């Protein structure tokens, strides 16, 4: 399950809110792509906490998730649109 806990809107483009989001997911496989949450686009600085493993992921300016260890999550592992 993915939960958008908090967000800060930084822009509104073509009816899409560009946000810095705070996300909770059960598993790393549930991390969304930048446009993976309907009606929103996640941008640099978005943070995701993986509940089962305790890992923390942060989105870079290219829309890629990086673990707190600096490891990039392959984009092929991002969840489908939520």
What pTM was computed for the model? Answer: 0.88
Report if residue 48 sits inside a domain: yes
Report if residue 12 sits inside a domain: yes
CB of 6 closer than 8 Å to CB of 24: no
Report if residue 66 sits inside a domain: yes
Residue 61: Cβ-neighbour burial (10 angstroms; 0-12, 13-18, 19+)? exposed
| Residue-level pLDDT at 80 | 67
Report the share of the chain in percent with pLDDT over 70.
96
Report if residue 24 sits inside a domain: yes
| Residue-level pLDDT at 13 | 94
Report if residue 78 sits inside a domain: no
Residue whose entry in the numeric block shows the structure tokens 């829309």: 63
Instruction: Tell me which residue range forms the domain holding 59.
Output: 2-70
Report if residue 82 sits inside a domain: no
Collect all residues with Cβ–Cβ distance below 8 Å to 76 and sequence separation of at least 6.
Answer: none
Report if residue 7 sits inside a domain: yes
Structurally, how many domains does the chain consist of?
1
Q: What are the helix (H) ranges across the chain?
A: none
Report if residue 21 sits inside a domain: yes
């Amino acid at each position: 399950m993915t939960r958008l806990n908090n967000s800060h809107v930084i822009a509104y483009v073509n009816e899409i809110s560009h946000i810095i989001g705070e996300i909770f997911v059960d598993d790393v496989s549930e991390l969304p792509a930048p446009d993976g949450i309907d009606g929103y686009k996640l941008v640099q600085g978005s943070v995701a906490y993986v509940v089962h493993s305790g890992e923390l992921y942060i989105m870079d300016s290219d829309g890629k998730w990086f673990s707190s260890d600096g490891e990039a999550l392959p984009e092929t592992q991002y969840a489908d649109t939520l």
